[in-house]
Chain A
């Protein structure tokens, strides 16, 4: 280090600086406080990552429980004994109801119906926990808040996000929301479904605090989402490294940017909706209550005005990850950079115009037809992306590793998910498919087959960067295959069930559906095993994984110029951008030699 105080020194020459993960001799509590009060986007990203994975686990357990319940239909057998006492068997197990009950008006009855009811209520609570945790606590913050926080500044060549303190603040808002949700779950959860449709959500559970808490949690989490989105938009506008124009940004950044726009524009609407719902629940103000002249369908409009765009909050970042994975691991310039970038914005725009397709059965014909037509529009920018990704692979030198396998799995599964959205968007077919397992299968193909798959793929891709350790490639690939098989077993069957008429959100079904339900449940176990293997692989890598080089995949975007894991201020020098993020044909990747990542010999 020189003692001369030049202005550049503020930015550069921090060679002796260690990784941001280094324990700086703070002791246990010191380290905890260091993390709890950090404004470093990398640490905040890792905290989000931990929380989000925990929520994935929690939601996953609830999901597995739902599937187990569906192994068999609820078979009730009622026999009247000689003395006139009914015996009731549920699933072959006799149920003891004690004695006859007397209702308020004096009539006598046996309360077996209520047992069936309480079994179904438990089921309803389970799928609500599953849905609400997965949507509000896992998938919405997953890629943007965890990977986005970690990578966005690195990819832009910045030292941090625009407002580091605000970033920490939104992490604490997330924690608050998560805590409220968990409290509501510990108190037995709610049975409204993640959509909280009125009038049910304002009537169910006389001791209403759980429903109230759950809605409050979603409301609070919305703030976190808004502030993160706002932070990212400003970061992209104002903190690009010198030399980086808008079209030199990696596509992941474009995707996060488009996502953030949706978060900022759509989330306030769910904010006011949930606020009014809270008023409704606590004070019976009547806005959504038909018995007071209010309008439950208005609630649905408000809800989907947010919740449709939010499905693109889930999928756009995933699409961004796929653009990175495919280009880097096939060493090809991404095909149609601008088309992919603009289609992200296009999707963001169109996503605000299609909410009505969730409520065709609650609207007039004209409105339905218009929403149906607009829904088809979404398919265009989506298809543009898929074609560009496939064209990127063409003649690339494709590496077969975990991130690439996940990217390929994404292409396959997301295409199925997107294409099955079209029959749901078409009026004639949706009347049959609405509220059936077909819808369940559709959104799992896009949310799980799309977002979760991309998230795990991206996690493998950037794992070395985040922790400075390599994971075991063979184990990763094996688990990926298992997840792929398990996923299709679980959810493809549900398409068939749906077309045959199995409704969603039912605890029981007719015997004809049993085989498909059982296959689906077994699939969910494969899926769970696959994820657990990934978890083991990651933990093993943290403890005993070989040290990762700064640029294991030969990537060209700026995060690969940083160390693995990056130093506290990300870069030794403020990077100066001289090449695009996908110029694999002409640039030797940073920290790499030409032998490792040869440039193409012939440029004809």
Chain B
């Protein structure tokens, strides 16, 4: 096991010989820059979702009944489970960063595995218990809407907001999972450790954002009627 090797120090790990890119003056400059870059990127993501939230607010104001009806058709149970799933994954990804800093190679990988499992679970629940049943009952966005028991003409719009919002979020879950998979592969090669954990940290930041967006989507869509 890699952990053993590092403990004994017999064989040196790739991270130990990490050297920053030549255009940087120091590794710490490089690290700070990467973090600043990621934070800026997260700002853009927040603004992207701001558009969805804005549309939500406006149509909710215009058609409160339609939104109340639509929201009542969502199953809080699954929304809640998924919230817990994402919160757990946020915790494990944070632990992964810590493990990288402390050179706990084994737990670094375990934590990323759990995070990825949570991501898969989230998408699985979303599809099998929410999207697919709802879609087949005719609760679809816009022109596809075909639900016989609708009470309000704007209900297709509610579903449009619901699918666009959660769909774009689910896409971000997949992107985040892709990023973490890449980190995982490189973690197996022993690339991350106390001298080099930039990618672990920035990917974790991204993952927290994915979680955070859900923390807003969940009450807005499921809880407020």
Q: Which residues of A contact B (CB under 8 A)?
A: 10, 158-160, 162-164, 166, 226, 230-231, 233-234, 237-239, 264-265, 267-269, 271-273, 275-276, 279-280, 283-287, 289, 292-295, 298, 302
Tell me whether A234 and B142 are in contact (CB under 8 A): no
From B3-11, B36-44, B82-90, B203-211, give the one contacting chain A.
B36-44
Instruction: With a 10 A CB-CB cut-off, give which of A162, A233, A269 has the most chain B CB atoms.
Output: A162
- Residues A234 and B164 in contact, CB atoms below 8 Å apart: no
CB pair A283 B33 closer than 8 Å: no
Interface centre among A237, A239, A272 (most CB of B within 10 A): A272
Contact present for A269 and B141 (CB under 8 Å): no
Using CB atoms, name the residue of chain B closest to A267.
Answer: B44
Interface residues as binary, B145-181 with A (CB distance below 8 Å gives 1, 0 otherwise)? 0000000011011001101100010000000000000
A577 CB, nearest partner CB in chain B, Å? 14
- Shortest distance between the CB of A446 and any CB in chain B (Å): 25
- Complex interface: chain B residues within 8 A of A264 (CB): 40, 43-44
Given A268-B47, A292-B156, A298-B58, A285 and B142 contact (CB-CB distance below 8 Å): yes
Q: Are A238 and B29 in contact (CB under 8 A)?
A: yes
Contact flag A163-B142 (CB < 8 Å), given A276-B55, A294-B157: no
Using Cβ atoms and an 8 Å threshold, which residues of chain A touch B160? 285-287, 294
Q: Would A158 and B143 count as touching, CB distance under 8 A?
A: no
> Which residue of the partner chain, among A237, A271, A279, A285, contacts B36 with CB atoms under 8 Å?
A237
Question: CB-CB contacts of B48-72 with A at 8 A, as 1s and 0s?
Answer: 1111101100110011001000000
Residue of A nearest to B168 (CB): A275
Which listed residue (A272, A279, A283, A285) contacts B49, Cβ 8 A? A272
B154 to chain A: which residues have CB within 8 Å?
A: 293
Taken together as a complex, chains A and B put the C-alpha atoms of A65 and B161 apart, in Å, by 42
Which of the four size classes fits the interface of chain B?
Answer: 35 or more
A238 proximity list for chain B (CB < 8 A):
29, 32-33, 36
Complex Cα spacing A406 to B177, Å: 51
Q: How far is the CA of A302 from the CA of B156 in the complex (A)?
A: 21
Within 8 Å CB of A302, what residues of B?
Answer: 51, 54
Closest-CB distance, B181 to chain A (whole angstroms): 19
A269 and B50 contact, CB distance less than 8 A: yes
Complex Cα gap A377–B204 (Å):
41
Contact B23 A285, beta carbon cutoff 8 Å:
no
A269:B51 contact, CB within 8 angstroms: yes
- Contacts A159-B23, A292-B143, A292-B157: A226 and B44 contacting too (C-beta < 8 A)? yes
Q: Assess A283 versus B144: contact at CB under 8 Å? Given A237-B33, A271-B48.
A: yes
CA distance A160 to B33 in the complex (A): 13
| Interface membership of chain B positions 174-203, coded 1 if the CB is closer than 8 angstroms to chain A and 0 otherwise | 000000000000000000000000000000
Taking a contact as CB atoms under 8 Å apart, the answer to whether B37 and A231 are in contact is yes
The residue from B37, B46, B55, B144 contacting A230, defined by CB atoms under 8 A apart: B37
CA distance in complex: A295, B63 (Å): 12
Residue of B nearest to A237 (CB): B36
A272–B52 CB distance below 8 A: yes
From A159, A289, A298, contact of B22 by CB (8 A): A159
With known contacts A267-B44, A293-B63, A273–B157 Cβ distance under 8 A: no
Q: Which residues of B lie under 8 Å from residue A298 when comparing CB positions?
A: 55, 58
Are B164 and A285 closer than 8 Å at their CB atoms? yes
Instruction: Give the residue name and chain of the B residue nearest to A161 (CB).
Output: B23
Assess whether B33 is in contact with A286, with CB atoms less than 8 Å apart: no
A159 surroundings in chain B (CB, below 8 A): 22-23
A234, A272, A293: the one within 8 Å of B48 (CB): A272
B142 and A283 within 8 A (CB): yes
A442 to B184, CA, bound (A): 54
CB within 8 A of A158: which of B23, B58, B59, B168?
B23
- The CA-CA distance from A284 to B156 in the complex, in Å, is 10
Residues of B close to A160: CB separation below 8 A: 23
30 A-B residue contacts at CB 8 Å?
A158-B23, A160-B23, A163-B34, A164-B21, A226-B44, A230-B40, A230-B41, A234-B40, A238-B32, A238-B36, A239-B33, A264-B40, A268-B45, A268-B48, A269-B47, A271-B48, A275-B168, A285-B142, A286-B142, A287-B157, A287-B161, A292-B142, A292-B156, A293-B62, A293-B153, A295-B58, A295-B59, A295-B62, A298-B58, A302-B54
Q: Nearest A residue to B143 by beta-carbon distance?
A: A284
- Other contacts beyond A230-B41, A268-B51, A295-B59: 16, CB < 8 A: A10-B22, A159-B23, A164-B21, A230-B40, A233-B40, A234-B33, A271-B44, A272-B50, A283-B143, A285-B143, A285-B160, A286-B156, A287-B59, A287-B164, A292-B157, A298-B58
Q: Which of B37, B141, B143 has the most CB of A within 10 A?
A: B37
Residue of A nearest to B144 (CB): A283
Q: Lowest 8 A-B CB distances belong to which pairs?
A: A272-B51, A284-B143, A286-B142, A285-B142, A268-B47, A159-B23, A285-B160, A293-B154
Closest-CB distance, A134 to chain B (whole angstroms)? 25
- B49 pairs with A162, CB closer than 8 A: no
CB distance from A521 to the nearest CB of B (A): 41
- What residue in chain B is nearest A272 (Cβ atoms)? B51
Complex CA–CA separation, A275 to B49 (angstroms): 11
* Residue in chain B with minimal CB distance to A265: B47
List chain A residues, Cβ under 8 A from B55.
276, 287, 298
Give the distance in Å from the alpha carbon of A284 to the alpha carbon of B21 in the complex. Answer: 48
Interface pair B157/A234, CB less than 8 Å apart: no
CA distance A124 to B29 in the complex (A): 51
Determine the chain A residues whose CB is within 8 A of the CB of B37 once the complex forms.
162-163, 166, 230-231, 234
Looking across the interface, which residue of chain A has its beta carbon closest to that of B46? A268
Nearest-neighbour CB distance to chain A for B61, whole angstroms, equals 11
For A273, the chain B residues whose CB sits under 8 A away are: 51
What CA separation (Å) do A162 and B23 show in the bound complex?
A: 8
Tell me which residues across on chain B come within 8 A of A283, comparing CB atoms: 141-144
| Residue of B with least CB distance to A235 | B33
- Nearest-neighbour CB distance to chain B for A276, whole angstroms, equals 6
Shortest CB-to-CB span from B66 to chain A, Å, is 8
Contact A293 B36 (CB under 8 A): no
Give chain B residues whose Cβ lies under 8 Å from the Cβ of A226: 41, 44
**From A242, which residue of chain B is reached at the shortest CB distance?**
B25
Contact B141 A285 (CB under 8 A): yes
Q: Of residues A237, A268, A293, which shows the largest number of chain B Cβ atoms within 10 Å of its Cβ? A: A293
The answer for the CA separation of A289 and B49 in the assembled complex, in Å, is: 20
Smallest distance from the beta carbon of A12 to chain B beta carbons, Å?
Answer: 13
